[in-house]
Amino acid sequence: MESYIGELLEEHSFLYPDKLAIISDNKTYTYGEFHYAVERLQREMIAYSGISKKRVGIFVEEPALFLVIFFSVIRNGWSAIPLDSKWTDEEMEHALGIAQPDFVIVEKVEDFLYDVKTILLSNLNEFNLQDGQNEIPKVDSDFYFYIGFTSGSTGKPKGFFRNHQSWLESFAVCEQVFPIHKNSIVFSPGPLFHSLSLFAAVHALHLGTTIHVSNSFSSRVVVERIAREGIDTLIAVPTMIEAIINLYKDAEQIPSHLQTFIVSGSEWSRQSKQKTKSLFPNAKLFEYYGASELSFVMYKEYIAEEEKGHSMFPGVSLNILDDNGNKVSQGKVGKVYLSSNMLFSGYLNNERETVNVLTKNGATVGDLGYQDEDGYIYLVGRESNMIKSGGLKVFPEEVEEVLQSHKDIEQAFVFSMPDNYWGEKVVAAVIWKNAMNTVADDELKDFCRKYLASFKVPKQFIQTDKLAFTKTGKIDRNATKYRLEILV
């Protein structure tokens, strides 16, 4: 295995210099051009700041340029910190306070008015370097190359860091499970400030394949590019997939070359998977579960109406334990702990939260689940989301999945409200597919009772027209609950 990410760029540029490496909305690089641009910027940054290890913020929206900077930073043995231009001032100050970059590379200084040293990308390009000037430092594969931020769906984002080996292990595991190879043409239309899209792009360049990236997500642009560029692999979050497949109206529009969907980031609804499979009957549909802290954990391929649970990724071992740290029996819900070589290194400046994840029993982010007699894993929810109603445990994710299987419901969100009798009562907010075609509360309760124990059935239903989402497409549970409480 390679010792650091980006080590293979020189080899790729030698073997196929004219092969397209990156295609963005308005910029392309062949592997020869990409390697040259990366190596030159490495030397330019060293000329500017010396060879000692640095934390470098990246505030550049153009994704092809972003990837040149990212690889230049990490191939110098430094740490790259992607910064999201869509963050509020408060979010940016929070992230900068955690990551504490030595400097931030920007395209326009006036777009980044924060109390941190900035370098204009065009100024770096003005260094008059001679070939071989500025020796490039050796990369320490155990040093953290990437500082990212959790999605913050239930609180402020935490900064996490990863070393080269954890992602190299993840690349190898990904290639064992998904049909991605150097001849693939991959499109990951999400922003590179988010781990899912960044990982997809970096992995593609590690493999030597062609990666399509985009400045911002547009389902129409994605569909047009899939048709025009022969893209065979799409990597995205469920909301993106849903927006994309809704644009395909008939069989004549279906591109036969699109053969693989790889989806993560949040739950991919059964209805959406069924629709995708009906439109692309020959395509492989993969859904995987992972986390910023854990990397790849488990996956499943959607094949038939009756879905099985998740299988573990190669190299991942799992334990499901009760509150006392004992293994639970088959079919019983417990907290999920795992071990692998793909785990994160920890949270920045937050040892307390780090040890809550990297425990003596294994790594956990509080997921609860069970294992069936065939070894498949079923996640039922996150411990922090659990509702206790009448002394019994209710997992909102389980109730949401049932409600979203109703033919008239577009989306559901389940939360708790204080109740004198139950302690907490289960409340469900629903978004209808057609506001003129709604269902009475009693009918919804009867529908839920077909699939849920009676204590899990919502005591109250409310109608809403939107939910709050994080920038990664997950439901922001705290913000959504705050909005809905006034309706209860």
In terms of pLDDT, which residue wins out, 474 or 407?
A: 407
Cα gap 430→448, rounded to integer Å: 13
Please give the pLDDT value at position 341: 95
The domain that holds 48 is classified in CATH as: 3.40.50.12780
Domain holding 397, by residue range, is: 387-485
Answer yes or no: are the C-beta atoms of 367 and 336 closer than 8 Å: yes
Q: Is the same domain home to 144 and 167?
A: yes
Retrieve residue 14's tokens: 């030698």
3-state secondary structure of 42: helix
Please give the pLDDT value at position 289: 92
Please give the pLDDT value at position 127: 54
Please give the pLDDT value at position 96: 94
Say yes or no to pLDDT of 296 above 80. yes
Q: Is the same domain home to 334 and 480?
A: no
Answer yes or no: are the C-beta atoms of 412 and 429 closer than 8 Å: yes
Number of domains in the chain: 2
> Poorest-confidence range of 399-403, 436-440, 457-461?
436-440
Q: How confident is the model at residue 419 (pLDDT cuts 50, 70, 90)?
A: confident
* Tokens 């869509």 sit on residue: 86
Compute CA 23 distance to the chain's CA centroid, rounded to the nearest angstrom. 21
Q: Is the same domain home to 354 and 404?
A: no
Under DSSP, the state recorded for 405 is T
Q: Is the same domain home to 305 and 251?
A: yes
Highest mean pLDDT among 108-112, 186-190, 267-271, 379-383: 186-190
Answer yes or no: are the C-beta atoms of 395 and 380 closer than 8 Å: yes
Which residue, 385, 411, 430, sits at the end of a domain? 385
Q: Is the same domain home to 359 and 391?
A: no
Residue type, 89: D
Mean pLDDT of 440-461: 92
Q: Is the same domain home to 380 and 404?
A: no
**Exposure class string for 28-60: b at 16+ Cβ within 10 A, else e:** ebbbbbbbbbbbbbbbbbbeebeeeebbbbbbb
Q: How confident is the model at residue 475 (pLDDT cuts 50, 70, 90)?
A: confident
Q: How confident is the model at residue 488 (pLDDT cuts 50, 70, 90)?
A: low
Percent of the chain whose predicted confidence (pLDDT) is above 70: 95
Residues forming a β-bridge with 295: 291
Q: Who contacts 265 (Cβ-Cβ below 8 Å, separation ≥6)?
A: 196, 237, 238, 472, 473, 474
Q: How confident is the model at residue 256 (pLDDT cuts 50, 70, 90)?
A: very high
Mean pLDDT of the chain: 89
Mean pLDDT of 166-192: 95
Compute CA 243 distance to the chain's CA centroid, rounded to the nearest angstrom. 17
Mean pLDDT of 59-68: 95
Mean pLDDT of 67-83: 96
Please give the pLDDT value at position 57: 96
> Poorest-confidence range of 164-168, 196-200, 296-300, 329-333?
329-333
Which residue, 356, 385, 414, sits at the end of a domain? 385
* Tokens 């992607």 sit on residue: 82
Phi, psi of 439 (to 5 degrees): -125, 140
Q: Is the same domain home to 125 and 241?
A: yes
Mean pLDDT of 15-20: 96
Reference 186, options 126, 116, 235; nearest CA is 235
Mean pLDDT of 388-402: 87
Please give the pLDDT value at position 393: 84
β-pairing, 317-321 vs 334-339, is antiparallel
Residues forming a β-bridge with 216: none
Say yes or no to pLDDT of 131 above 60. no
Compute CA 79 distance to the chain's CA centroid, rounded to the nearest angstrom. 20
Q: Is the same domain home to 431 and 310?
A: no
Say yes or no to pLDDT of 2 above 90. no
Sign of CA dihedral 42, 45, 50, 53: negative
Q: Is the same domain home to 265 and 372?
A: yes
Q: Is the same domain home to 281 and 294?
A: yes
Q: Is the same domain home to 313 and 362?
A: yes
Please give the pLDDT value at position 129: 52
Mean pLDDT of 53-59: 95
Please give the pLDDT value at position 381: 85
Sign of CA dihedral 23, 279, 464, 379: negative
Please give the pLDDT value at position 340: 95
Highest mean pLDDT among 26-35, 136-145, 244-253: 26-35
Residue 297: other Cβ atoms inside 10 A: 23
Please give the pLDDT value at position 308: 80
Cα gap 169→309, rounded to integer Å: 24
Say yes or no to pLDDT of 477 above 90. no
Please give the pLDDT value at position 134: 62
Cα gap 213→203, rounded to integer Å: 13
Which residue, 385, 409, 424, sits at the end of a domain? 385
Say yes or no to pLDDT of 126 above 70. no
Q: Is the same domain home to 436 and 340?
A: no
Q: How confident is the model at residue 320 (pLDDT cuts 50, 70, 90)?
A: very high
Q: How confident is the model at residue 391 (pLDDT cuts 50, 70, 90)?
A: confident
Q: How confident is the model at residue 203 (pLDDT cuts 50, 70, 90)?
A: very high
Say yes or no to pLDDT of 153 above 60. no
